[in-house]
C-alpha cells in the first residue's frame, strides 16, 4: 500500500510539473459576456479563433456570464461570443502572450433580429409537414443521411426541377415511400422556398446551456477545401496524429493536434484531391489495427485499403471474396483482437478480412426479414447493413439501417450462427457494445437510443428531447466512464448519457451546421468527432472539421466550482 501511494504522489508531482510547464508556455484569456443591461449571459459559447491556424478554442460562460480560456498558445486571435437569440459579438484581433501575458475582455450582446439564421436542423425539419407517419419516416431516413434539413444551404434550390434532382440523388438506397415521391417536391417548395419562412410559426429559442453542460471545452480544426470536402469519419492514430477520410476527395487526411500540421494522402485509384473530378473510391470509414495501420472502406470503389502510417504505402484489395466481383458499398469497419477486419457492405451483408491469412475475405449471408426475433417495427425498402462492432467476447454485432434489425455473428461457429433481433424503434445505425456486453443502438429514425441485453433479449429505450426531429447518427461508449456519447446530428450538439443515473446532458458545438457521424475517445478521456455535412456549402465556413471535446472548461463538473470565479479571486 505504501508503494502504491508513493506512486500516486509521484504521478501527482509529475502532473503538477507538466501543468506548470504548460501554463508557462501558454496564455489565458478571461472575461465576461453580458446583455445590454449588463446582466451576465450564462451558457454563451466564447471562442478564441486563430484564422491563420484555422483553429478555435471554445468554452461556455458560467451562471454570471464569466469565462476563462486558458492553455491558449501564444498567437493572434479574435474572440467571438455566440448565444442563440443574440447577434454574435466579435472582437478585434488580440495577441495572446505566454505566462503572465493574460488578456481580459468584456463582450456586450444584443438581441438578434434574424432568428432564422440561428435555427438548427431539428427545428427547421419540424416545419416540414408530412401527415402520413410512414411517409414522413421514409423521408427522414432517406434525406438526412448527409446533411441537416432546412438550413440555409438546404434551401438553395430555386425551381421545382432543382428539388426533383436533389430528391433523386438523396434516395440512393431506395427507401423513400413511393407515394411520397409524387408529392415531396411540392412540399419542399412550399416549406423551404425563399418566401416560405415568412409563413412559419414564431420560433422560441431554447434555454441556454446550464449545469454540467457548462464544463464544455471544444477545440476545432478546419479541414479540407472549400470547393468540396466531406470529412466523413475519423480515427486516433497511435502516433499522436488524428486521421480522417475526405470522402469527396478520395483522400486520407491527417492532423497533428499539437502543431496543427495537416497532410493529405491520395487513395490509390482515386481522383486528384481537391480537383473538380468526380470521386471514384469514396473512402468512408477507418480503423487502426494493433500495429497502427489504418484500414479503410472505399465505398464507391468497392475496395478495402490499408495505409501503413510508417512507410505511407498502400495495400488495396477487393472488398468481396470473389476476385471477379467487387463490393457494392463497403461501409463501416472494426478490427478484432486477432487483427481480423470486420465490415458491413450496405448493398450485401457482413464480411471479414484476415490480414494474418493473405487477406482472405469471407462473406456472411444475413437472415431474411421473417427470421428476426421480436415484434418491433418492420423493414422498409433496402435492407442496408450498416453499423458494426466487436463485443468483449469476440461476437460481432451489426445493424440493418432500413432492414430495421440488430444482428450478431459468432465467428467461432462455422456458419457464424447469425441471429437478428427486431428493435422497437426505426433506423438502428452505428451501434456499440459496452464492457458488460450490453448493446447500445441509436435509432436515428425515431430520435431515440436503446440498450439491448443479449442474455434476456430485452430492450430499454430512451428518448432524446424533441425526438421527432432528432437524428442520432451514431453513439459510442466511453471506455473509462461508461458514459454513452451520442451525435446530436440535427442539433449542432453532442449528447452525453450517464447510465447509472440516466441523466442526459446536451453540449452545444461552436459552429453552425455541425453534422457528426463518428465518435472516438483519446487516452486522456477526450471525445473526438468530425463535422462532415455534405454538401460542405451548408456549413458555416464551407469546410469540414475535426473536433476535440473535454469537460474541463469554465465549470469543474465534479465540484460545480467556476474556474472563472477562482481566477477572479471570487468564492
Residue 441 CA: distances (Å) to CA of 202, 373, 428, 446: 34, 16, 6, 12
| Cβ proximity of 159 and 166 under 8 Å | no
**What is the spatial distance between Cα 449 and Cα 429, in angstroms, rounded to a whole number?**
10
- pTM passes above 0.85: yes
**What is the spatial distance between Cα 197 and Cα 190, in angstroms, rounded to a whole number?**
9
Cell (9 digits) for 98? 505566454
Residue 368 CA: distances (Å) to CA of 363, 383, 393, 418, 431: 15, 10, 26, 11, 21
Instruction: Please give the chain's pLDDT, 571 residues, in tens.
Output: 333 233 333 333 333 333 444 445 889 999 999 999 999 999 999 999 999 999 999 999 999 999 999 989 999 999 999 999 999 999 999 988 887 557 789 999 999 999 999 999 999 999 999 999 999 998 998 888 889 998 988 888 777 888 888 777 776 656 688 899 889 999 999 999 888 998 898 899 999 999 999 999 999 999 999 989 999 999 999 999 999 999 999 999 999 999 999 999 999 999 999 999 999 999 999 999 999 999 999 999 999 999 999 999 999 999 988 765 677 899 999 999 999 999 999 988 999 999 999 999 999 989 876 665 665 555 545 578 999 999 999 999 999 998 899 999 999 998 899 999 999 999 999 999 999 999 999 999 999 999 999 999 999 999 999 999 999 999 999 999 999 999 999 999 999 999 999 999 999 999 999 999 999 999 999 999 999 998 888 899 999 999 999 999 866 444 455 555 444 333 3
Q: Find residue 373's DSSP bridge partners.
A: 421
Contacts of 558 (CB under 8 A, 6+ apart): none
Contacts of 427 (CB under 8 A, 6+ apart): 140, 141, 401, 402, 404, 442, 443, 444, 445, 446
Could you tell me the strand order of the sheet in which 103-109 lies?
66-72, 27-35, 103-109
Read off φ and ψ for residue 123, nearest 5 degrees. Answer: -70, -35
Terminal-to-terminal C-alpha distance of the chain = 36
Read off φ and ψ for residue 134, nearest 5 degrees. Answer: -65, -40
| Cβ proximity of 51 and 94 under 8 Å | no
**What is the spatial distance between Cα 414 and Cα 418, in angstroms, rounded to a whole number?**
10
Q: Where are the alpha helices (DSSP H) in 68-214?
A: 121-125, 133-143, 160-170, 178-192
Q: Find residue 246's DSSP bridge partners.
A: 231, 251
Maximum distance among all Cα pairs of the chain, rounded to whole angstroms: 76
**What is the spatial distance between Cα 437 and Cα 451, in angstroms, rounded to a whole number?**
10
- Residue 93 carries which DSSP code? P
**What is the spatial distance between Cα 30 and Cα 44, in angstroms, rounded to a whole number?**
13
Contacts of 324 (CB under 8 A, 6+ apart): none
- Residue 230 carries which DSSP code? -
CA 95 to chain centre: 32
Whether the CA torsion 501, 509, 54, 92 is positive or negative: it is: negative
Domain ranges of the chain: 2-113, 116-199
| Cβ proximity of 452 and 423 under 8 Å | yes
Q: Is the backbone of residue 461 left (phi > 0), alpha (psi -120 to 50) or beta?
A: beta
* pLDDT of 4: 28
Identify the CA nearest to 478 among candidates 453, 462, 495, 461.
495
Q: What is the CATH number of domain 2-113?
A: 2.60.40.1120
Q: Find residue 262's DSSP bridge partners.
A: 255
| Cβ proximity of 511 and 541 under 8 Å | yes
Identify the CA nearest to 239 among candidates 261, 214, 209, 221.
261
Cell 455541425, located at residue: 514
CA 38 to chain centre: 36
**What is the spatial distance between Cα 229 and Cα 191, in angstroms, rounded to a whole number?**
28
Other C-beta atoms within 10 Å of 129: how many? 9
**What is the spatial distance between Cα 139 and Cα 177, in angstroms, rounded to a whole number?**
8
Burial, 214: exposed, middle or buried (Cβ in 10 Å; 0-12, 13-18, 19+)? buried
**What is the spatial distance between Cα 263 and Cα 259, in angstroms, rounded to a whole number?**
12
Cell 454538401, located at residue: 535
SS3 of 477-492:
ECCCCCCEEEEECCCC
Q: Find residue 31's DSSP bridge partners.
A: 67, 105
Other C-beta atoms within 10 Å of 528: how many? 21
State yes or no: cis peptide before 514, omega within 30 of 0.
no
Amino acid at each position: 500500500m505504501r508503494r502504491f501511494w508513493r506512486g500516486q504522489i509521484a504521478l501527482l508531482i509529475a502532473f503538477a510539473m507538466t501543468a506548470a510547464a504548460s501554463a508557462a508556455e501558454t496564455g489565458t484569456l478571461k472575461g465576461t459576456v453580458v446583455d445590454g443591461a449588463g446582466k451576465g449571459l450564462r451558457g454563451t459559447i466564447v471562442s478564441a479563433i486563430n484564422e491563420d491556424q484555422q483553429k478555435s478554442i471554445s468554452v461556455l460562460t458560467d451562471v454570471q456570464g464569466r469565462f476563462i480560456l486558458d492553455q491558449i498558445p501564444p498567437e493572434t486571435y479574435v474572440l467571438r461570443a455566440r448565444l442563440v437569440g443574440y447577434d454574435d459579438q466579435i472582437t478585434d484581433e488580440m495577441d495572446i502572450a505566454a505566462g503572465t501575458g493574460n488578456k481580459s475582455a468584456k463582450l456586450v450582446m444584443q438581441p438578434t433580429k434574424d432568428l432564422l439564421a440561428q435555427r438548427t436542423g431539428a427545428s427547421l425539419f419540424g416545419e416540414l409537414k408530412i401527415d402520413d407517419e410512414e411517409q414522413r419516416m421514409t423521408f427522414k431516413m432517406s434525406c438526412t443521411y448527409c446533411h441537416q434539413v432546412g438550413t440555409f444551404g438546404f434551401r438553395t434550390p430555386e425551381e421545382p426541377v432543382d428539388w426533383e434532382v436533389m430528391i433523386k440523388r438523396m434516395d440512393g438506397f431506395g427507401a423513400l415511400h413511393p407515394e411520397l415521391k409524387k408529392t415531396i417536391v411540392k412540399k419542399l417548395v412550399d416549406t423551404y422556398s425563399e418566401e416560405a419562412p415568412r409563413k412559419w410559426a414564431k420560433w422560441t429559442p431554447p434555454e441556454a446551456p446550464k449545469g454540467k453542460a457548462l464544463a464544455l471545452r471544444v477545440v476545432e480544426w478546419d479541414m479540407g477545401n472549400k470547393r468540396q470536402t466531406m470529412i466523413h469519419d475519423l480515427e486516433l492514430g497511435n502516433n499522436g496524429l488524428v486521421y480522417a477520410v475526405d470522402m469527396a476527395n478520395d483522400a486520407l487526411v491527417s492532423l497533428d493536434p499539437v502543431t496543427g500540421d495537416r497532410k493529405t494522402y491520395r487513395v490509390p485509384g482515386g481522383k486528384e484531391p481537391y480537383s473538380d473530378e468526380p470521386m471514384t473510391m469514396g473512402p468512408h470509414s477507418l480503423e487502426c489495427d494493433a500495429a497502427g495501420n489504418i484500414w479503410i472502406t472505399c465505398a464507391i470503389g468497392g475496395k478495402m485499403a490499408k495505409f501503413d502510417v510508417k512507410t505511407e504505402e498502400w495495400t488495396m484489395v477487393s472488398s468481396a471474396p470473389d476476385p471477379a466481383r467487387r463490393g457494392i458499398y463497403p461501409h463501416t469497419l472494426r478490427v478484432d483482437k486477432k487483427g481480423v477486419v470486420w465490415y458491413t457492405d450496405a448493398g450485401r451483408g457482413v464480411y471479414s478480412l484476415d490480414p494474418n491469412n493473405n487477406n482472405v475475405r469471407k462473406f456472411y449471408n444475413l437472415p431474411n426479414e421473417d427470421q428476426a426475433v421480436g415484434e418491433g417495427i418492420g423493414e422498409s425498402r433496402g435492407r442496408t447493413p450498416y453499423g458494426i462492432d466487436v463485443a468483449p467476447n469476440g461476437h460481432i454485432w451489426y445493424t440493418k439501417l432500413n432492414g430495421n434489425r440488430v444482428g450478431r455473428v459468432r465467428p467461432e461457429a462455422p456458419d457464424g450462427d447469425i441471429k437478428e433481433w427486431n428493435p422497437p424503434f426505426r433506423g438502428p445505425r452505428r451501434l456499440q457494445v459496452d464492457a458488460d456486453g450490453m448493446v447500445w443502438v441509436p435509432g436515428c429514425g425515431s430520435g431515440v437510443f436503446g440498450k439491448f441485453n443479449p442474455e434476456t433479449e430485452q430492450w430499454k429505450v430512451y428518448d432524446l428531447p424533441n425526438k421527432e426531429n432528432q437524428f442520432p447518427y451514431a453513439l459510442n461508449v466511453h471506455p473509462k466512464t461508461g458514459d454513452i456519447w451520442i451525435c446530436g446530428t440535427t442539433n449542432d450538439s453532442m449528447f452525453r448519457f450517464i447510465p447509472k443515473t440516466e441523466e442526459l446532458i446536451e453540449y452545444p458545438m461552436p459552429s453552425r451546421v455541425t453534422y457528426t457521424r463518428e465518435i472516438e475517445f483519446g487516452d486522456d478521456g477526450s471525445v473526438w468527432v468530425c463535422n462532415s455535412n455534405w454538401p460542405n456549402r451548408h456549413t458555416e465556413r464551407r469546410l469540414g472539421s475535426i473536433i476535440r471535446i473535454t469537460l474541463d472548461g469554465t465549470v469543474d463538473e465534479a465540484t460545480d466550482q467556476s474556474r472563472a470565479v477562482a481566477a477572479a479571486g471570487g468564492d
